[in-house]
Structure 1
Amino acid sequence: MTSRSILGLMYTMQGLRALGEDPAPVLARYGLDLDRLDPAARIDRSLELRIHAEVAEHLRDPLAGLKTGRFFGFAGYGPLAMLLLTCADVRDAFRIGVHYQRLTYLYSTLSFEEGATQSALCLTPLPLPRRAFRFRVDGEMAGTYKLMMDIQASIGAALQPLRVDMPYPRPPEAQKYEAHFGCPVRWGEAQGRFWLRNEHLSVRFPSHDPAAHALYRGLCEQALVDQQKELDTLAAKVLLHLELLDERMPGAERVARFFGLAERSLRRRLAEEGTSFRALVADARYRKARHLLRHTALSVETIAERLGYAEPAAFIHAFQRWSGRSPQRYRASPADE
């Protein structure tokens, strides 16, 4: 699994708290206190996304994700922020943003598609449970829009989108999105997209500085090199997906569909990475079992059923094989063991 700056989690959770939501109980279950987080720290991507998914289940305001976008500080992007500001023009900035997207707070995949008269900055979201999906999509779209508006304010160029596409069905609060983005919004699309006129792409940046740009590009390249040491694999993505599903474990065919693959291709690629779908299911079950034993009062029988075991005895045997202890002994042991 990869890690990244904890600032993204901090911005989102601080924003939720300012909006009257209470992410503290979920954070506490993972031993985190929002007021004591170190901004220089890093967090495992799977843990961060699991926290987002759990928080999403308790939100009162369906627009909470959209509203958190304004809490993302431009300076929090570090050298990437300065690299963007020293670009030659808008088109260059979009291409740079796509190339260095691993240095952002996105879980979606960022791309830039140029058309004859209009072009789009696109976000392809990660498949997640329904409420977590909307929360993350809204937050990432709003955060990206905030970044665009911050750059617009810095360079004095128009980056206001003509239209925004959202990758889920039209919600009852649709008009609020048009007010937020300041343009029409189209629903039920395959990706999130910000559409802009092509003439805006050639607007020169008054802050363009080739020497400073080269300096910041070197810093961003080094940050990417550091991240390559923990590069995501398909196995990591499948494991994360399995961990997030609050239901009986899905079969390989269903998981393959989530990632746009045939089942045979999924199994082949996992084998090439030195693992198997069966091993990942076992790993996900073990991780979820530990969480449920530590942080809930559910009975062992209920946990076994939730993890897809036909009999509690099969779950108990598997957990003993994984941890060397029975579920009851694990639950009774100190949390730091």
Structure 2
Amino acid sequence: MRTVEEPGIRTWDFPRGIASIAVMAGCAADHGVSTDRILAGTGLTSAALSDPDLQVPGAIELVVVRNLVRELADVPALGVEVGRRYRISTFGIFGYACITSPTLREAISLALRYYQLGYGFCTPVVEFDEGTVLARIHHDLVPADVARFLVERDIVAMHRVMGDLLGHEFAVSRIELDFAAHEGADRLSEVLGATPLFGRPQTVFALDPAILGQSLPQANAQTWSLCVAQCADLVQRRTARTGITAQVRKLILPGGDSTGIPAPPTIEQVARELGTSPRTLRRRLAEAGTGYRALVDEVRCTLAEEMLSGTPLSVDDIAIRLGYAEATPFIHAFKRWTGTTPSAYRRKRAGSARP
């Protein structure tokens, strides 16, 4: 059965930690470029790069990207070099949630769910089908002057992190890029293990589906659940439901009780209620560090938790009331949202309610 998973947010302009900027500053330093030159125009100091709690807008990282590309314009395959420097530890608690996931498939789903806790500029949409796993890399919102660098950086970083999760290097089965071949293309082939096809209609890479179900060497159910909960809390704090997000969430929430939940409104319907256009609404949500799909998922998660803890409805009934055709996709979604299954969540809540 073909399934498609994508990030809850479809923009690069979201608040992010400082670790990615530190990675690029380290690359620049290795090439003899000072940190001050890489941070020019950001308002950041070199001391800020060691602050684990510092958050910066995506636009600030973009300034650093442009500084790096300008300063190291003569370095071949710069995107590949920088991408190789990202490790699972670069992503903090988000990275630990991924590395303790049961399988690579679960880790990919988790990474897409909490994409805004990373440092990506490109948007990966992953298609799972029988016999193939295809990641389509969308970069239509990435500024053209740094698009090639960021596409190569993000793809190689994804590949590097997946290698960390598996505990070994692996080759992609196919890589296609929608830009022309360039000096340093051999390095891309060497790192990814497949010869890139340039000048293609879109940028995609494919994985061997056999690796998806492999147990990850550091999988730990208890640690995973704890890390997923912390990721959810971090996203919640970063995107406090005020302003436009509060207005949208209110419109998504159904009226009445939870026994007859209507399908969530489309973004076009919500935009109309707010007297704006879908494009403007998407932009305003992106500025608030979230997206429409992320808010719909958040509401569904809240309703699911309420029904699991406050009603005798079966998991199948809850799935149908939330708009799912059957229980399986709901169970998979709930596990991405909370790090546990609906049944396990209900048992835990029932246990905590006992005197």
* TM-score normalized by the length of structure 1: 0.63
Give the whole-Å Cα distance in 2 for the aligned partners of 1:199 and 1:273.
Answer: 37
Alignment check: 8 A CA contact 2:24 2:68 kept: no
Relative to structure 1, the CA distance from residue 206 to residue 141 in structure 2 (aligned partners, 3 Å threshold; closer, same or farther) is closer
1:163 matched residue in structure 2: 174
- The residue matched to 2:157 in structure 1 has which SS? helix
Alignment check: 8 A CA contact 2:14 2:116 kept: no
Give the whole-Å Cα distance in 2 for the aligned partners of 1:173 and 1:164.
Answer: 15
Decide which moves more: 160-169 or 185-194: 185-194
2:88 matched residue in structure 1: 74
Deviations 1:38-85 (A, max 9, x none): 332111211221331243234221422210122223212112222112
Deviations 1:218-257 (A, max 9, x none): 01111121232389x9xxxxxxxxxxxxxxxxxxxxxxxx
Give 1:90's aligned amino acid: L
- Distance apart, 1:36 and its partner CA: 5.1
Percent identity of paired positions between Structure 1 and Structure 2: 17
Of 96, 104, 108, which aligns to 1:90?
104
1:13 matched residue in structure 2: 25
- The residue matched to 1:136 in structure 2 has which SS? helix
Alignment check: 8 A CA contact 1:16 1:64 kept: no
2:224 matched residue in structure 1: 213
- Distance apart, 1:191 and its partner CA: 4.6
Give the whole-Å Cα distance in 2 for the aligned partners of 1:35 and 1:80.
Answer: 23
- Distance apart, 1:37 and its partner CA: 2.7
Relative to structure 1, the CA distance from residue 118 to residue 20 in structure 2 (aligned partners, 3 Å threshold; closer, same or farther) is farther
Give 1:24's aligned amino acid: D
Q: How does 1:260-279 map to 2 (within 5 A)?
A: 268-269=277-278
Alignment check: 8 A CA contact 1:14 1:34 kept: no
- The residue matched to 1:110 in structure 2 has which SS? strand
Deviations 1:267-290 (A, max 9, x none): 833566899xxxxxxxxxxxxxxx
Deviations 1:112-144 (A, max 9, x none): 111331112333225344441112112111211
2:151 matched residue in structure 1: 137
Give the whole-Å Cα distance in 1 for the aligned partners of 2:205 and 2:140.
Answer: 18
Give the whole-Å Cα distance in 2 for the aligned partners of 1:273 and 1:95.
Answer: 23
Give 2:110's aligned amino acid: I
Alignment check: 8 A CA contact 2:76 2:183 kept: no
1:47 aligns with 2:65: no
Give 1:214's aligned amino acid: S
1:4 matched residue in structure 2: 16
- The residue matched to 1:107 in structure 2 has which SS? coil
- Distance apart, 1:20 and its partner CA: 4.0
Give the whole-Å Cα distance in 2 for the aligned partners of 1:191 and 1:223.
Answer: 33
2:78 matched residue in structure 1: 64
Give the whole-Å Cα distance in 1 for the aligned partners of 2:155 and 2:137.
Answer: 8
- The residue matched to 1:57 in structure 2 has which SS? helix
Q: How does 1:94-243 map to 2 (within 5 A)?
A: 94-153=108-167, 159-229=170-240
- Distance apart, 1:31 and its partner CA: 3.5
- The residue matched to 2:120 in structure 1 has which SS? coil
Relative to structure 1, the CA distance from residue 274 to residue 133 in structure 2 (aligned partners, 3 Å threshold; closer, same or farther) is closer
Give 2:42's aligned amino acid: Y
Relative to structure 1, the CA distance from residue 184 to residue 270 in structure 2 (aligned partners, 3 Å threshold; closer, same or farther) is closer
Alignment check: 8 A CA contact 1:119 1:197 kept: yes
- Distance apart, 1:106 and its partner CA: 0.5
Relative to structure 1, the CA distance from residue 202 to residue 77 in structure 2 (aligned partners, 3 Å threshold; closer, same or farther) is same
Question: How many residues are treated as equivalent by the alignment?
Answer: 242
2:287 matched residue in structure 1: none
Alignment check: 8 A CA contact 1:113 1:120 kept: yes
Query: Which consecutive residues of structure 2, in runs of 5 or more, have no partner in the other structure?
Result: 1-12, 245-271, 285-355
- The residue matched to 1:111 in structure 2 has which SS? strand
Alignment check: 8 A CA contact 2:40 2:67 kept: no
Deviations 1:273-309 (A, max 9, x none): 899xxxxxxxxxxxxxxxxxxxxxxxxxxxxxxxxxx
